[in-house]
Amino acid sequence: MKLRKVSAAIATVLTLSLAATACGDGDSGSGGKKITVGIKFDQPGIGLKTQDGKYTGFDVDVATYVAKELGYEAKDIEWKQSPSAQRETMLANGDVKFIAASYSITDKRKEKVDFAGPYFLAHQDLLVRKDETGIAQGTDLNSKKLCSVTGSTSAQNVKDKIAPKADLQPLGGYSECLTGLENKSVDALTTDDAILAGYASQKEHEGKFKLAGLKLSDEKYGIGIKKGDSDLKGKINKALEKMKSDGSWDKFVAANFGPSGYKAENAPAIDAS
């Protein structure tokens, strides 16, 4: 009877020990803590997972900097793809600690999540061929073929407010639009200027395209966090302020957008409210 009780006690201790090891609160096998961060995997210059499994882009650099200020080294970061339509749900479910993924701050989104920042001011713009001289303003798109991805609000914004006679050419992805722009089956591509600059900066596209510089809208990129996490918001805002003051922000902009000739706005003021 005593032997049975001892065996049961040992089994209980082992079970609890294994459970504690499995839960680990995000600890890695080497004893270091981990943090899961959401980014885009398919936006060159912003957030891109390369063929060799590396992660590059402005948002990646910003997120890495912020994570370090929160106490995590680059090796402690687990990157998670964050498609636009899933970002609010991922934050609400705790799938990620924060998201840096060309995430424009809007009143509608602020009903579901909180934002630190903004850390970047983008504008809707046009990408055209380097030798293009016939598109100098938005109204010049009337009767021109304008490409964007299927379901894009950017192209519809042009059609509704700027050039009602623009010939919209929705395609499956930005790469298809770039191919169309290069072979002259479309005249312009529209989305945020930072995204356009990222594509134009890719090695295979250098020297082929230019941004029109039209600033058709203002898009303030923020770092998304779970609704109500004011402590994390304060810590990230502090990290973003430091990133601006120590020159890292300028370095990240130059490294990721420089080859396209894109001139970014100055780093926006942090909204501490």
Q: Are strands 124-129 and 209-211 parallel, antiparallel or unpaired?
A: antiparallel
Please tell me the distance from the alpha carbon of residue 199 to that of residue 7, in angstroms, as a whole number.
64
pLDDT of residue 181: 95
pTM over 0.75: yes
Does the domain at 35-121+221-260 match CATH 3.40.190.10? Answer given as: yes
Domain boundaries, the chain: 35-121+221-260, 124-211
The CATH superfamily of 124-211 is Periplasmic binding protein-like II (3.40.190.10)
The reply to whether 35-121+221-260 and 124-211 are identical in fold is yes
Amino acid at 55: Y
Matching residue, tokens 């090891």: 21
> Tens digits of per-residue pLDDT, 167-221?
999 888 888 899 999 999 999 999 999 989 888 888 888 889 999 999 888 899 9
pLDDT of residue 273: 73
> Tens digits of per-residue pLDDT, 47-91?
999 999 999 999 999 999 999 999 999 999 999 999 888 999 999
> DSSP letter string over 250-269?
HHHHHHHHGGGT--PPPPPP
pLDDT of residue 155: 83
Closest CA to 151 of 85, 217, 221, 224: 85
